[in-house]
């Protein structure tokens, strides 16, 4: 059997796995993301040397990234600006490396073997410490000038919002991430999002922003499905709230995409295995 390696690279942790098939990542380990990229990369290399040999590696990473150089670019994560992650791994392991954003990887994974199995047009959002979005359209991951950055969609104020919350995005203030990420909820309400009871008005407001995001991507990309993952979506009542609010916002004009939770335990990691398999071809 051919063995592939997968890296889901995040600002707090790297998740590593190997697998013969994307559906079954195994030997999953987590390592802390050091402020010294070469230190983290050395641990990644050691793990794959110990668990190989691999036919190819897939990397689904935090960004922003530049695909020409395979680098992470303007991240606020200390030490990682302009770090050439793809080539650092390819040169040490001497194998092909598939490289994309974490959310593009997750979109690919949910479309190939998750909630949207068999779909060619799917958008994946993660709503966590930040908000990110990945796009698969016509079966292809979207890159373009760089890649989608749908966390920074510009949104309008939720109705009935009693405060004048300015938002937490250092660049835009009140963009989607500025208004609806986990840290935005904490800054607005003074408690962590997971401490807010399900009946709290915070969730109506949160659902409004995420519904705006769903309707906006429906207008631009017309995906068949939008998958909403990330820590803040670990609230069982949210999916139905967002679906309802999206229907209200689109007001019968558009056929809306299905709005679903991820079906995979590790969408980004599974995406990385799929990227590895494509890189090996």
Strand-pairing partners, residue 155, are none
Report in angstroms how near the CB of residue 10 gets to ligand ADP at its nearest.
Answer: 5
End-to-end CA distance of the chain: 15
**Residue of 128, 133, 223, 257 interacting with ligand ADP (CB under 6 A):** 128
Separation CA 252–CA 266 (nearest Å): 34
User: If contact means CB under 5 to 8 A according to the sort of partner, which of ligand ADP, Zn ion, none does residue 152 touch?
Assistant: Zn ion
Report in angstroms how near the CB of residue 150 gets to ligand ADP at its nearest.
Answer: 14
Beta strands in the chain (DSSP E): 4-9, 13-19, 26-32, 56-61, 65-66, 71-72, 97-101, 122-127, 131-137, 140-141, 225-229, 258-260
Report in angstroms how near the CB of residue 219 gets to ligand ADP at its nearest.
Answer: 26
Report in angstroms how near the CB of residue 235 gets to ligand ADP at its nearest.
Answer: 5
271 binds ligand ADP (CB under 6 A): no
User: Within 165-194, which residues bind ligand ADP (CB under 6 A)?
Assistant: 182-183, 192-194
248 binds ligand ADP (CB under 6 A): no
Q: Are strands 4-9 and 13-19 parallel, antiparallel or unpaired?
A: antiparallel
Strand-pairing partners, residue 123, are 135, 226
Q: What is the DSSP letter of 96?
A: -
**2/234 with CB nearer ligand ADP:** 234
Give the residue from 105, 112, 113, 158 showing the smallest Cα distance to 132.
105
Options 79-87, 125-133, 143-151, 162-170: segment touching ligand ADP (CB under 6 A): 125-133
User: If contact means CB under 5 to 8 A according to the sort of partner, which of ligand ADP, Zn ion, none does residue 33 touch?
Assistant: none
Site residues, ligand ADP (CB under 6 A): 10, 12, 126, 128-130, 182-183, 192-194, 230-232, 234-235
């Amino acid at each position: 059997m051919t063995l592939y390696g997968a890296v889901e690279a995040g600002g707090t942790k790297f998740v590593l796995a190997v697998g013969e098939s994307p559906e079954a990542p195994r030997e999953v380990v987590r390592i802390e993301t050091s402020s010294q990229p070469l230190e983290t990369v050395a641990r990644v290399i050691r793990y794959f040397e110990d668990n190989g040999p691999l036919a190819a590696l897939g990397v689904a990473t935090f960004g922003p990234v530049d695909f020409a150089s395979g680098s992470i670019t303007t991240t606020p994560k200390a030490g990682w600006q302009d770090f050439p992650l793809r080539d650092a791994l390819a040169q040490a392991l001497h194998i092909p490396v598939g490289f994309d954003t974490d959310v593009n990887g997750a979109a690919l994974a949910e479309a190939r073997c998750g909630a949207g199995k068999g779909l060619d047009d799917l958008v994946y959002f993660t709503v966590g410490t930040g908000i990110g979005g990945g796009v698969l359209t016509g079966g292809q991951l979207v890159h373009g000038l760089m890649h989608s950055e749908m966390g920074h969609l510009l949104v309008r104020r939720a109705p009935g919002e009693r405060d004048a919350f300015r938002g937490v995005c250092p660049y835009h203030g009140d963009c989607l991430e500025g208004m609806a990420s986990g840290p935005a909820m904490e800054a607005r309400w003074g408690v962590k999002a997971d401490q807010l009871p399900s009946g709290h008005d915070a969730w109506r407001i949160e659902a409004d922003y995420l519904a705006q995001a769903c309707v906006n991507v429906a207008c631009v990309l017309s995906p068949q499905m939008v998958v909403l993952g990330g820590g803040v979506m670990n609230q069982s009542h949210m999916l139905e709230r967002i679906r309802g609010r999206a229907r209200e916002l689109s007001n019968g004009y558009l056929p809306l995409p299905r709005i679903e939770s991820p079906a995979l335990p590790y969408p980004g990691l599974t995406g990385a295995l799929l990227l590895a398999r494509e890189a090996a071809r």
